[in-house]
Amino acid sequence: MPAVNRLRNHLRAFALRLPEAYADFPWGEVVLKVNRRIFLFLGRDQEITGFSVKLDQHLGMALSVPGAAPTRYGLGKAGWVTLSFGEELPERDLLRELVEESYRLVAPKRLVAELDRRAL
């Protein structure tokens, strides 16, 4: 399995461990949601090129990563960033941190509090 597929599967598995997170498949794409709100876009399975997350605290840092750009369709104005996978894949710890921040921005406060009580 190519490294990008392993990384994508790792991010999906990590996101599904967050409180009440679940996968959904609108538009034929894989998204992760909490409380019916998307916090992670993984795209179509056959188009494994990157992922998108909503950021605030790490927005500037994420945009400095090679291959990163504001998400299209006007989502970039709301803090969404798309990170594209190139030859060098970003560190998994950094990517998990970005996914968790996105989750925290869209999840209800009670679920964020539950996450704070957990050790992932």
Compare 64 and 25 and report the one with higher pLDDT: 25
Report how far apart the first and last C-alpha atoms of the chain are (Å, whole number): 25
Residue 23 scores a pLDDT above 90:
yes
pLDDT in tens, 48-94: 678 999 999 999 998 888 888 999 888 888 899 998 876 666 788 88
Instruction: Just give the CATH number of 3-112.
Output: 3.90.1150.30
**pTM metric for this prediction:** 0.89
Which two tokens mark 94?
């950094």
Q: Give the residue carrying structure tokens 């921040």.
A: 101
Lowest mean pLDDT among 5-9, 58-62, 79-83, 105-109: 5-9
Q: How far apart are CA 19 and CA 27, in angstroms?
A: 24
Which two tokens mark 82?
């798309």
Q: How far apart are CA 85 and CA 48, in angstroms?
A: 8
